């Protein structure tokens, strides 16, 4: 039987890359997103109007019926998005609400799923941001959402968090990902400092298949790319 993973945010640029990569490695992949994934073996499509509790209930029911009682090797939460604004910005509250729904809600649901469906020694990967390791005055809501994600990851890695035995919770903190949308909105940027999506797919794959390669449980893994080469540092 194929090994199984869940990609939360499977229709985003990074999520789609992960779905394709793990499929190429003969994993059965379940995508969770607002849009259907044509690449995934199972695609759970959400309604964006549903509140956190209803979304969690719906996803849990769908996952339970599709897994046939088999635990998953990993849950990779790469759902999220960016929205800026300082406290005086007219869209400050609106944008903050959006990024909290995208990043924090998905992280909480992923944590709940991991407590139920992740195998012992499995991996829960979360998506923070390097910017959230410091103050973010020009994007307060975004920074707060990513800081909350980092906090949730560290808390899940602590004892009595409800996670499966010997599982790992790791939060990546990239500076800028090399996505089509980032290239569209920042056409003059130095893309040699952007982290390729394939690099993250390969990193996650290594962590999934070889638990000994994982950093210390609860680590925030900052990804710094220079001249096309990516280095990891741990926080």
Number of alpha carbons in the 13 Å side-chain half-sphere of residue 160: 0
User: Terminus-to-terminus CA distance in the chain, angstroms?
Assistant: 37
Q: Is the separation of the CB atoms in 74 and 118 below 8 Å?
A: yes
Q: What is the DSSP letter of 216?
A: S
Determine the 3-state secondary structure of 107 from DSSP: helix
Active site residues: 142
DSSP lists the bridge partners of residue 174 as 223
Handedness of CA 186, 230, 10, 105 (dihedral sign): negative
């Amino acid at each position: 039987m194929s090994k199984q993973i869940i990609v939360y945010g499977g229709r985003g640029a990074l999520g789609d890359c992960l779905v394709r990569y793990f499929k190429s490695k003969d994993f059965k992949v379940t995508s969770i997103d607002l849009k259907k994934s044509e690449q995934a073996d199972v695609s759970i499509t959400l309604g964006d109007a549903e509140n956190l509790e209803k979304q969690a209930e719906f996803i849990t029911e769908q996952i339970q019926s599709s897994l046939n009682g088999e635990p998953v090797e990993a849950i990779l939460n790469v759902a999220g998005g960016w929205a800026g604004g300082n406290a005086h910005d007219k869209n400050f509250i609106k944008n903050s609400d959006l990024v909290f729904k995208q990043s924090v809600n998905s992280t909480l649901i992923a944590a709940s799923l991991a407590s139920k469906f992740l195998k012992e020694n499995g991996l829960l990967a979360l998506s923070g941001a390097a910017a959230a390791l410091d103050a973010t005055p020009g994007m307060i809501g975004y920074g707060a959402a990513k800081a909350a994600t980092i906090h949730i990851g560290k808390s899940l890695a602590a004892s009595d968090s409800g996670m499966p035995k010997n599982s790992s919770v790791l939060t990546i903190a990239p500076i800028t990902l090399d996505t089509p949308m980032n290239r569209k909105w920042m056409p003059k940027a130095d893309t040699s400092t952007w982290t390729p999506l394939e690099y993250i797919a390969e990193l996650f794959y290594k962590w999934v298949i070889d638990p000994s390669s994982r950093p210390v449980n609860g680590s925030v893994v900052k990804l710094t790319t220079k001249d096309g080469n990516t280095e990891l540092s741990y926080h």
